[in-house]
Amino acid sequence: MSESILNVKNLQVEFKSGSIITRAVNGVSFALNKNENIGIVGESGSGKSVTATSILRLIPSSSAKITGGEIILNGRDLLKLSNREMRKVRGNEISMIFQDPSTSLNPVFTVGNQLIETIRAHKKLTKKEAKQRAIELLELVGIPAPEKRINMYPHEFSGGMRQRVMIAIALACDPKILIADEPTTALDVTVQAQILNLMKDLQEKLDMSIIMITHDLGVVWEMCDQILVMYAGRVVESAKVEDLYHNPLHPYTWGLLESQITESQDSHAPLASIPGSPPDLSYEIKGCPFVDRCPYAQDICHNEAPKLIEPTEGHAVACHFQTETEKLERRENAYINGDTIRS
Amino acid sequence: MKRFLFRRILQLIPTLFIVAIIVFFITRMLPGNPAAVMLGPQASAEDIAAYSEQLGLNEPLHRQFFDYLGNLVKFDFGNSLSYNQPIADLIMERFPNTVILAISALIIAVIIGVPAGILAAKKQNTFLDYFITTFSLVGVSMPIFWLGVMLALYFSVNLGWLPSTGMGSLDNGLWDFLSHLILPSIALATIPTAQFARIIRSSMLETISHDYIKTARSKGLREFIVINKHALKNALTPLLTVMGLQFSNLLGGAVLTETIFSWPGMGLLIVNAIEKRDFVVVQNTVIFIAVIYVVINLIVDVLYKVVNPKINLDSDKGGA
Ligand SMILES: Nc1ncnc2c1ncn2[C@@H]1O[C@H](COP(=O)(O)OP(=O)(O)OP(=O)(O)O)[C@@H](O)[C@H]1O
Ligand code: SF4
Ligand SMILES: [Mg+2]
């Protein structure tokens, strides 16, 4: 069995605005294995980014709060660390890159400055050594003429190059985990593939694990070992990528797969071709959160929340109907309704 | 950069021309014959008439105006009759005093206003924030004349700690110099301090919400660096704008403050010259101040470039 390096257990995150409490993440659990990548998918607002930023404890402290759970990294619960200890984790053991490289780099400092300060925040290097390391990093992520580029400002780079710079910054201290929150969404289609290839290369070269948040299931098939399907702040299905691909269990996942097929032309398309919209997270949800949109919903779905169960080893799903006959029935219906899901 | 400077210097010409027109005609609208005012109440009507003739006051207004413009073009500031010395000397004697007062007020404003603004933004919606916000609101609406008089009354008349008039000299020791500077600087610094605090607070709040701040935190940087390096440098642009405006205001001579504390600067010079109807002094001092305004604004625009590398001064979009 592969060894897990990060364990998120029953994570709960709430946003508070006045008297309204939004449960953005509601009991998310997953394990990230060494040298493996996990993909997190789910439509907009399902809590992917909040889950990811909570791992680094970077959610806005004024409005959001982690109200429960554990995040275990190397035997330590990150939620119990002091701010100082947490700083040593950020950018050093776990790094993060964001969606839009044109806003995630600071416009008023050179890329060299932003790289070097990261290196020096965690490693005892002289300015000169850090600069040398920065040049190597830029080279590593495929930026030509790094000795010159290091003195340039972010606006002098193209979108793809900026994301490479972000990756260089994230990798500055050899983190074991890289969290990538839709790292290619803001880029041109041609550049997207280059960035993904780069990430894949580096992941193998540097022995790290990636948490890849994406709207694009293609990216998951391509890069990830595990997949986590999120809906309304919960995990509704999680599995090895092949298992989910061949045998998706949750009706929401079916919808996702289907929308991916019909809209595969445009990888920017949201995964929301499933009719209806997710529930308002500021209300208590009594039954299954997907009930309003689920074609197979029964009475029990309205009244009882389905638990995350593991019908087969390593493949978990939160839906009431998981016996073989029930599944068959529903799959058949799905084929009739949607012609084919996949063949 | 060269093109930028060239363009700005060209722009200076119409600005100065307009200023010249305005101040010329405003001074002519003042009541009282300058010759009569200067010669004093004992002067006879003939003396006044003769003196008016000598001053060129009997010429038609447009002639007077063009003579004045002609002299300006030649950089000839002329002589002050009431002070009996060249106006250029007069300005050069007073201007450094104004600079000293302005710089010390600006230093106070930066040292107090900027950290207060940062703190208020960092502690948004806490008691500290409300405290700073309220104080800066009071500060920007403070009547300086009243504040100056109160400071003078309390610290020099009541307590006797500090002198309330005139300027000290370093020849009499550092304390003589500083003690004269303290009260007028505080009076003059009040509004800019409050203004800086407000500007920095709001631009910091705006900056802190940007993605690159999250990036900075995600890299494991200390909060002190995140705020005072990553956020602050981005928040400086609006501060630079008001700082430039305030500084050129201060250099123009803080008329009220200089009058209350009898500080021998440009402001007091203008007030005295108006009292004496010494038009030439008023006109040329104002022109000089206008030039200073433009120069400071130019420096501020160049500083924008330092703070924000995206700004290209030579393009038409830049510098705004
Ligand atoms: N700053 C915030 N203030 C209040 N609520 C927030 C905030 N950020 C997120 N939320 C809540 O958390 C929920 C999950 O948001 P999150 O950003 O994690 O979604 P996501 O899955 O990343 O979506 P997307 O695909 O659009 O990035 C949102 O529906 C919203 O209700
Ligand atoms: S629990 Fe019911 S409503 Fe929820 S996904 Fe399963 S069948 Fe649909
Ligand atoms: Mg997101």
A1 touches chain B (CB under 8 A): no
Mean pLDDT of A271-298: 84
User: In this structure, is residue B300 part of a structural domain?
Assistant: no
Whether the predicted pLDDT of A342 surpasses 60? no
Distance CA B227, CA B208 (A): 8
Q: How far is CA A150 from the centre of its chain?
A: 29
Same domain, B98 and B66: no
Contacts 24+ apart (CB under 8 A), A60-67: A62/B124, A62/B125, A63/A15, A63/A16, A63/A17, A64/A13, A64/A14, A64/A15, A64/A16, A64/A24, A65/A13, A65/A14, A65/A16, A66/A11, A66/A12, A66/A13, A67/A12, A67/A13, A67/A14
Q: Which of B124, B212, B233 sits opposite A105 (nearest CB)?
A: B212
User: In this structure, is residue B127 part of a structural domain?
Assistant: yes
Same domain, B269 and B150: yes
Same domain, B100 and B191: yes
Same domain, B236 and B136: yes
Same domain, B53 and B103: no
Cross-strand pairs, A181: A213
Q: State whether residue B4 is helix, strand or coil.
A: helix
Same domain, B263 and B131: yes
How does strand A209-213 pair with strand A177-181? Answer: parallel
Provide the Cα torsion B39, B44, B46, B50; round to 10°: -10
The pLDDT value recorded for residue B45 is 79
What is the Å distance from ligand 3's center to B296 Cα? 45
Question: Which bound ligand lies closest to the C-alpha atom of A40?
Answer: 1
Same domain, B155 and B230: yes
User: In this structure, is residue B185 part of a structural domain?
Assistant: yes
Burial class (CB in 10 A: 0-12, 13-18, 19+), A213: buried
Tokens of B22: 């305005």
Asked if B218's CB is within 8 angstroms of A96's CB, the reply is yes
User: In this structure, is residue B301 part of a structural domain?
Assistant: no
Cβ–Cβ < 8 Å for B35, B51: yes
pLDDT tens for residues B15-59? 888 888 888 888 777 777 777 777 777 777 787 888 777 777 777
Structural domain count of chain B? 2
Same domain, B192 and B148: yes
Same domain, B190 and B258: yes
ipTM (interface pTM) = 0.88
Distance CA A107, CA A131 (A): 19
Provide CB contacts within 8 A for A108, sequence distance 6+.
A153, B233, B234, B307, B308, B309
What is the Å distance from ligand 3's center to B211 Cα? 13
The pLDDT value recorded for residue A40 is 96
The pLDDT value recorded for residue A90 is 95
Q: Which of B205, B218, B230, B312 to probe the A interface (max A CBs under 10 A)?
A: B218
pTM of the full structure: 0.82
Task: Share the mean pLDDT of chain A.
Answer: 88
Same domain, B151 and B232: yes
Residues of chain B short of pLDDT 50, as ranges, are 316-320
Counting atoms of ligand 2 from 1, which one is nearest the CA of A252?
5
Q: Report DSSP state, residue A155.
A: G
Label residues A242-271 b or e (16+ Cβ within 10 Å = b): ebbeeebbbbbbbbbbbbbeeeeeebeeeb
Mean pLDDT of A291-300: 87
Q: Which of A63, A104, A173 to probe the B interface (max B CBs under 10 A)?
A: A104
Distance of residue A142 Cα from the nearest chain B Cα, in angstroms: 21
Q: State whether residue B236 is helix, strand or coil.
A: helix
Cβ–Cβ < 8 Å for B218, B212: no
User: In this structure, is residue B287 part of a structural domain?
Assistant: no
Distance CA A9, CA A78 (A): 12
> By alpha-carbon position, which residue is closest to atom 5 of ligand 1?
A15
Domain extent, residue B37, equals 2-73
Last residue of a domain, one of B29, B48, B73: B73
User: In this structure, is residue B149 part of a structural domain?
Assistant: yes
Distance CA B140, CA A143 (A): 50
Q: Report DSSP state, residue A171.
A: T
Counting atoms of ligand 2 from 1, which one is nearest the CA of A296?
7
Q: Which of B212, B218, B307 sits opposite A106 (nearest CB)?
A: B212
Neighbours of B193 (CB within 10 A): 28
Same domain, B98 and B204: yes
Chain position carrying tokens 């010669």? B39
Q: State whether residue B156 is helix, strand or coil.
A: helix
What is the Å distance from ligand 2's center to A319 Cα? 5
Cβ–Cβ < 8 Å for A186, A99: yes
Q: Which of B225, B229, B309 sits opposite A153 (nearest CB)?
A: B309
User: In this structure, is residue B303 part of a structural domain?
Assistant: no
Last residue of a domain, one of B49, B73, B97: B73
pLDDT tens for residues A212-270? 999 889 899 999 999 999 999 999 999 999 999 999 999 999 888 887 765 555 544 44
The pLDDT value recorded for residue A271 is 45
User: In this structure, is residue B241 part of a structural domain?
Assistant: yes
Q: State whether residue A237 is helix, strand or coil.
A: strand
Confidence band for A78, pLDDT divided at 50, 70 and 90: very high
pLDDT tens for residues A152-193? 999 999 999 999 999 999 999 999 999 999 999 888 888 999
Same domain, B64 and B94: no
The pLDDT value recorded for residue B279 is 80
Q: Report DSSP state, residue B171.
A: G
A162 touches chain B (CB under 8 A): no
The pLDDT value recorded for residue A325 is 55
Helix axis angle for B87-122 and B127-140, nearest 10°, is 160
CA distances from A285 to A147, A279, A304, B281, B293 (A): 55, 8, 10, 80, 64
